[in-house]
Amino acid sequence: MGANNSYYITTPIYYVNDKPHIGHAYTTLACDVMARFKRLDGYDVHFLTGTDEHGQKVEKAAAAKGINPQKFTDDVSQNFRDLADKMGLSHDDFIRTTENRHKKSVQALWQRLLDAGDIYLGSYAGWYAIRDEAFYAESELTKNSDGKFIAPSGAETEWVEEESYFFKLSAWGDKLLKFYDDNPDFIMPKTRRNEVISFVKGGLRDLSISRTTFNWGVDVPNDEKHIMYVWLDALTNYLTAVGFPNENSDLYKKFWPADLHMVGKDIIRFHGVYWPAFLLAANLPTPKRVFAHGWWTNEGQKISKSLGNVIDPLELIHTYGLDQTRYFLLREVPFGKDGDFSRKAMAQRMNSELANDFGNLCQRSLSMVFKNCDEKIPTPAAFNDDDNKLLNDCQQLLPILRGHLDVQAFHKGLESIWKVIGAANRYVDAQAPWGLKKTNPERMTTVLYVLSDIIRQLAILTQPFMPISCGKILDQLEISADDRDFKNLSNSITSGISLTKPQGVFPRFIEDNQE
């Protein structure tokens, strides 16, 4: 079992043949925020992302380029590493399914399933579309002018008959239903859980887990005709990354079972059904949660390659800034639901919530400190009720945030922080420190001290969401790197520290005429 203060979180592995898009960025970003939050909260975190590099599509794409598949995947998996870098992601490991450690791991899991009697050799036949890597029912197909059967996606299909190994998924339905029952939070949000349960109740078919028609995959142990197919290979990466099959490795003992698999809603079934079935069959501990988030639309329109409205996360970062993009994606939509990206909404949140609310709170407060307190954090007199009320609101924030992030309610977490930001802005107006300068300088000093400390706390708490900008605020307050985690929240800021001249951290967004 994973240790109490450990936290293992994963993104799906991304299929290298895709171009990184907002869906990938979104999933990984959510994990990054969770990982950063847990680290600041004192957990030992293992944050995994990576790429899925096998399959017929990759084999064909490589052949089309005249290079071997390994070289091809080396190149394209770099796209995902680049995205991770540009998004400032804090992953601890980047796994590739073509690595040796992974091949060993999947083969070991295969062997366990075989030994347990859950894998058998059979065969199947059906209409297969290479482009989609999918089988279709005859009823779904249409005939084109050449007499070929066309899938709903438009891809040509061919009749395929093939020997294949199967996983006895059909035997696991009742056990899975009991598992969901015993672990009500295993699949979140609830609507996805209901979907999965109703799917399982509908009866499960055995799952084809090998192929003989192409070679780019992990070899099936003791049967060189076969390679493993998709989900057994892909899902097992979560085990590989913590040292499986070595169950005595430090990583494994510390981090398995995983605390959270973050996925898009499109792959909830594989994570919610196949994965626990594999693990139960192999007699391995099951992960604690699979969270399926929603999809984005672009200006109200469904995103699709054919419409050409795919959102490039790098373009967003370039236009709006990294932290701003991170903030928007996690604040705009209740996490778990579908959401819409629009330039108007983006600019709106940037200006209103980042520049006006948070940015301006920092700027107006720290400017007054800098000008009126000898460029130092002032020494306060006794706090009055107003001061204590605000400080107390801020102290309440960490437990509130924990509650929200433990159920991946990022939007609520941010909302609760922004409530305190609002309270702080009202406090500034009510106390009007600029007026106290002549009438009661000691009181002014106290108010500015309170504000400095509030800003320190707010910046510390907001770091998981916007690490760079919060880092800048903490730099301005001369908070050392060691003093930026959550256990420092209850220590007050030290009087007498010299400040650097405050500079705006969240610029307003001015819409270009173009775009």
Partner RNA sequence: CGCGGGAUGGAGCAGCCAGGUAGCUCGUCAGGCUCAUAACCUGAAGGUCGUUAGUUCAAAUCUAACUCCCGCAACCA
Nearer to RNA, 41 or 258 (CB): 258
Task: Name residues whose C-beta falls within 8 Å of residue 75's C-beta, 6 or more positions apart in sequence.
Answer: none
**372-403 burial code (b ≥16 CB/10 A, e <16):** bbeeebbebeeeeeebeebbeebeebbebbee
Nearer to RNA, 34 or 362 (CB): 362
Nearest in space to 102 (alpha carbons), one of 234, 258, 253, 247: 234
Nearest in space to 477 (alpha carbons), one of 401, 396, 363: 363
Cα–Cα dist 175/159, whole Å: 34
Nearer to RNA, 258 or 505 (CB): 505
Q: Which stretch binds RNA (CB under 7 A): 23-31, 38-46, 241-249, 282-290?
A: 23-31
Residue choice 2, 12, 336, 413 for contact with RNA (CB under 7 A): 12
Nearest-Å Rg of the Cα atoms of the chain is: 27
Assign 220 to helix, strand or coil.
coil
Element (H, E) at 96: strand 93-96
Residue choice 66, 147, 203, 308 for contact with RNA (CB under 7 A): 203
Q: Given the DSSP bridges, would you call strands 119-129 and 6-15 parallel, antiparallel or unpaired? A: unpaired
Q: Is 198 in the site for RNA (CB under 7 A)?
A: yes
Interface with RNA in residues 156-175 (CB under 7 A): 169
Assign 90 to helix, strand or coil.
coil
Interface with RNA in residues 387-446 (CB under 7 A): 422, 425-426, 428-429, 432, 434-435
Interface with RNA in residues 290-319 (CB under 7 A): 295-296, 302-303
C-beta separation of 22 from 341 below 8 A: yes
Q: Is 364 in the site for RNA (CB under 7 A)?
A: yes
The least CB distance from residue 129 to RNA, in Å, is 9
Q: Which stretch binds RNA (CB under 7 A): 205-213, 251-259, 459-467, 474-482?
A: 205-213
The least CB distance from residue 482 to RNA, in Å, is 26
End-to-end CA distance of the chain: 52
Q: Is 508 in the site for RNA (CB under 7 A)?
A: yes
Nearer to RNA, 35 or 354 (CB): 354
Q: Is 355 in the site for RNA (CB under 7 A)?
A: yes
Residue choice 37, 231, 278, 449 for contact with RNA (CB under 7 A): 231
Q: Is 362 in the site for RNA (CB under 7 A)?
A: yes
Output the DSSP codes for 300-357: TEE--TTTT----HHHHHHHH-HHHHHHHHHHSS-BTB-EEE-HHHHHHHIIIIIIII
Q: Given the DSSP bridges, would you call strands 339-341 and 296-298 parallel, antiparallel or unpaired? A: parallel
Output the DSSP codes for 443-496: HHHHHHHHHHHHHHHHHHHHTTT-HHHHHHHHHHTT--GGG-SGGGTTSPPPTT
Binding pattern for the stretch 256-295 against RNA, x by CB under 7 A and - elsewhere: -------xxxxx-xx------------------------x
Q: Is 334 in the site for RNA (CB under 7 A)?
A: yes
Q: Is 494 in the site for RNA (CB under 7 A)?
A: no
Residue choice 44, 162, 195, 393 for contact with RNA (CB under 7 A): 195
Q: Is 76 in the site for RNA (CB under 7 A)?
A: no
Q: Applying CB under 7 A, what is the total number of residues that bind RNA?
A: 68
C-beta separation of 278 from 109 below 8 A: yes
DSSP state of 267: G
The least CB distance from residue 384 to RNA, in Å, is 19
Q: Is 471 in the site for RNA (CB under 7 A)?
A: no
What is the contact surface with RNA in residues (CB under 7 A)? 12, 15, 18, 21-24, 27, 124, 132-136, 169, 191, 194-195, 198-199, 202-205, 207-208, 230-231, 263-267, 269-270, 295-296, 302-303, 334, 338, 348, 351-352, 355-357, 359-360, 362-365, 367-368, 422, 425-426, 428-429, 432, 434-435, 504-508
